[in-house]
Amino acid sequence: MSNNHRSPPGLLLVRSLRGKDWTLKTYRYVVLLVTFVAYTAYHASRKPSSIVKSVLDPGQKLNCTGFRPWPVGDVFIERVEMDGIMKKRGWAPFNGKDGTSKLGAIDLAFLGCYAMGMYGAGHLGDKLDLRIFLTTGMVGSGVFVGLFGMGYFWDIHAFTFYLVMQMLAGLFQATGWPSVVAVIGNWFGKRKRGLIMGVWNAHTSIGNITGSLLAASVLQYGWGWSFILPGAFIFVTGVLVYLFLPAYPEDVEFSRPNDGHEKAVPLPQDEEAQRLKQHLNGNGHNSGQGTSGNKRSIGLLEACLIPGVIPFALCLFFAKLVAYTFLYWLPFYLSQTAIGGQYMSVKSAGNLSTLFDVGGIIGGILAGYISDKLRARATTAASFMYTAIPAMLLYHRYGSVSKASNVVLMMIAGLLVNGPYALITTAVSADLGTHSSLKGDSRALATVTAIIDGTGSMGAALGPLLTGFLSSKSWDSVFYMLIAGAFAAGLLLTHLVISEIKEKFSKQLSCEQNSPPAKFAPVTSNLEENKKTACTIPCVVINFLFMHRI
């Protein structure tokens, strides 16, 4: 079978118009861009339910006239009683006494199906063509997110309808994360993977921001539009994925099947492409193994036995419990909390909540960079989770003092909460999916990613559900739950943290024993060594604290 049959049709068109192929570096940029936009669309389509909660809940007061999203208009708009087009308060079946619980139930329906679907989606992603699989998931997600919004225009008030739409949307959304991480893992090695994926993982926060702004910008025309617009966004993006995403380097002929007649695209002068080709050949990616359908995929049990998969999966359970509680309930919390003595409108609360994701972008990049420098993924993730505990306490206690304090503390909390979440779901998943125990003879990227993120998604389902019940009593209870979740996430990585620190000490001692004594060692002559020593100081301190604490 010719690679042209697997190559994205959009890239084939570009190649024919240019008369020559792109370099390896260009293809990598294309892969980063397309997968970035793809998962931005996934997260954007999840955000509307958090924005419309305060519209569906009868206790909220809305101000929908003369409003523009915060990049153009004001962030803080005082909440006032509204009249006119949206005078009716609430939407059955969410406007009863159990409305808040039902809002939590539809979150559970979506995230529960998402979590369960993740395990099957990961295994299928390692068996099927990732580009087709990802496209199908995106188009299906767009359809069912849009149908949820159509309930407004069709005047549907049956709770079952909204529950089923969320469940189906969750199943299709499960195709996304294992697929995009597997694609990135196929194109990029482990060197600087934490930093690359930390920057790339900004799509999560960008998607949350985009979804919030899209949903808020059309809310005044009816809450149904807040679902239809993001649904259309992911649908169209799915078409772009089908046209332009090369899921494997082999699919654009950087390593060709051994059929004796295909022309190899990497030209002799393209040294980087030739190095990739040699690397692929040396790891069994060609001659019948390098194509998207020929490499053996491992089972869920085999993937669970890879060292580190279970601890990181359980850690992500609690990390996503915390992160998704903010994702789904932060706008609702802001609309019910007086900030500087004023309550803000529902749409202002939705737009302000995006600053949490701005902090998350910085956190994801910072966590990836630090973990690359220290070569300690678990230590970095655990440190972020422990530091998030005082950050959340400060936000709950002092975030309502003034607008400035709310913005600053929210961004700090977003940085510390989303940092480890981003690190585990990207660089850690890709590292474990290409673990040395696999010996290069099986495909595990999507499967391992699905196990880790699927387990995490169970926590993501539990957090918003518990919040629906706890928030009706007090928000103090919600924040206590978040603190307990962050502490559990860090604690579950204790064994891996100790192992990383012991490994660093053993390497350091080995280097000291093997290095001959020097008569003179000018300070300026060993600048690089001084930098490395400085980088190990935090690890020494952490090791001392952990060993004496445990």
> Within a 10 A sphere around the Cβ of 75, how many other Cβ atoms?
16
140-192 residue pLDDT tens: 999 999 999 999 999 999 999 999 999 999 999 999 988 888 888 788 766 56
As a whole number of angstroms, the distance between CA 57 and CA 291 comes to 51
Give CA separation, 94 vs 59, 159, 468, 535, in Å: 11, 8, 12, 53
Structure tokens at 186: 């196929």
316 closest CA partner among 390, 377, 392: 377
pLDDT higher than threshold 80 for residue 451: yes
Structure tokens at 95: 């406007």
404 closest CA partner among 359, 350, 361, 340: 340
Amino acid identity of residue 31, one-letter, is: V
Mean pLDDT for 212-239 is: 93
214 and 44 Cβ atoms separated by less than 8 Å: yes
Confidence of residue 514 (pLDDT cuts 50, 70, 90): low
Confidence of residue 125 (pLDDT cuts 50, 70, 90): confident
CA 134 to chain centre: 16
Q: With the C-alpha atoms ordered 395, 397, 399, 405, is the resulting torsion angle positive or negative? A: negative
Residue for token digits 């420098």? 373
pLDDT higher than threshold 90 for residue 449: no
339-359 residue pLDDT tens: 888 888 777 887 788 889 899
Least confidently predicted of 29-43, 82-96, 164-178, 457-471: 82-96
Confidence of residue 421 (pLDDT cuts 50, 70, 90): confident
pLDDT higher than threshold 80 for residue 259: no
pLDDT higher than threshold 60 for residue 25: yes
Q: Is 372 exposed, middle or buried (0-12, 13-18, 19+ CB in 10 A)?
A: buried
Least confidently predicted of 129-138, 287-296, 449-458: 287-296
- The number of CA neighbours under 13 Å toward the Cβ of 488 is 18
Instruction: Kindly state the DSSP code that residue 337 receives in the 8-state scheme.
Output: S
Residue by residue, DSSP assigns 446-501 as HHHHHHHHHHHHHHHHHHHHHHHHHTTT-HHHHHHHHHHHHHHHHHTTHHHHHHHH
522-536 residue pLDDT tens: 444 443 444 444 444
Identify the residue with better confidence: 511 or 1: 511
Mean pLDDT for 418-423 is: 88
Residue for token digits 């530091």? 387
| Mean pLDDT comparison of 59-63, 399-403, 488-492, highest-scoring range | 488-492
> Within a 10 A sphere around the Cβ of 184, how many other Cβ atoms?
25
393-403 residue pLDDT tens: 999 999 989 98
Q: What is the pLDDT of residue 247?
A: 87
As a whole number of angstroms, the distance between CA 468 and CA 460 comes to 13
297 and 443 Cβ atoms separated by less than 8 Å: yes
Percent of the chain whose predicted confidence (pLDDT) is above 70: 74
Q: What is the pLDDT of residue 442?
A: 44
Reported pTM: 0.68
3-class secondary structure, 406? helix
Residues in the chain: 550
Q: Strand pairing partners for 443? A: 297
As a whole number of angstroms, the distance between CA 134 and CA 137 comes to 5
Identify the residue with better confidence: 374 or 274: 374
> Within a 10 A sphere around the Cβ of 82, how many other Cβ atoms?
17
